[in-house]
Amino acid sequence: MAKKNNQDKLELKKLHHIRPDKRIIVRYWLPWNEIIPKLQKGKSLLQTEQFEIVEKIKRELGHNHPVAIMVALTTKFDVSTVKRIIDKLEHIRNAVISLMQQEDEQETQSQITFQTTIQEIAELRERFSKDFEITSQLIKKRTNDKVLLEKRLTIINRDLSLTEQLLIQTREYKEQYDAAYAVRKGKRISEIKTVQQAYDLVENHAKKHKQ
């Protein structure tokens, strides 16, 4: 019996993807080919009040999405099979929540890094700006050192310009990063809501058949 349970249990597998900015993105997938054939052998018990929610899940995830197929077929199974499907849906939902939490933690650390970098560059720019100001005044007062000071002023002005560009580019990159994160988080939240609906639907179906 224990051996059979181990065969029925589907484990989430990790798929690592390294982004251009060297961040590692982890995606999870299930060996759906192992469960779908089993799901398609059940007895049809489809109920009209479930149709709308099932269709919504298909629209959200796609008609061929494994979760949509699993939920649509749930109404064709006995209680024990439905219970296993509930467990799998809960496992998927928890995996998505866990992934979003990991991304939130990475986002928090990224924000700290961005703020520290921007602050350091801004302070460096401020020092260059003050140095430029002081040097400009010295040029006016020290005519004998004018040539030397002008060379120094040229170098400082160049460094100031480069620092300003770096600060602008860093801020622009942060904005792009924040926008991408907002899109990813919105998608995760949508996935969680959709899977939660699937979970609630299957759980309610199971409760009806227990009564």
Quick one: three-class SS letters along 146-197? HHHHHHHHHHHHHHHHHHHHHHHHHHHHHHHHHHHHHHHHHHHHHHHHHHHH
* pLDDT in single tens digits along all 211 residues of the chain: 333 343 333 344 444 444 444 444 444 444 444 444 444 443 333 444 466 666 777 777 777 777 777 766 665 555 666 677 677 777 877 888 888 888 888 888 989 999 999 999 999 999 999 998 888 887 777 776 777 888 888 999 999 999 999 999 999 999 999 999 999 999 988 888 888 888 888 888 777 776 6
Sorted by where each begins, the domain ranges of the chain are: 2-102, 107-184
Q: Which two tokens stand for residue 117?
A: 């970098």
111, amino acid identity: Q
Report d(CA 65, CA 1) in Å as an integer: 31
- The predicted model scores a pTM of 0.46
Identify the residue whose tokens are 């597998």: 13
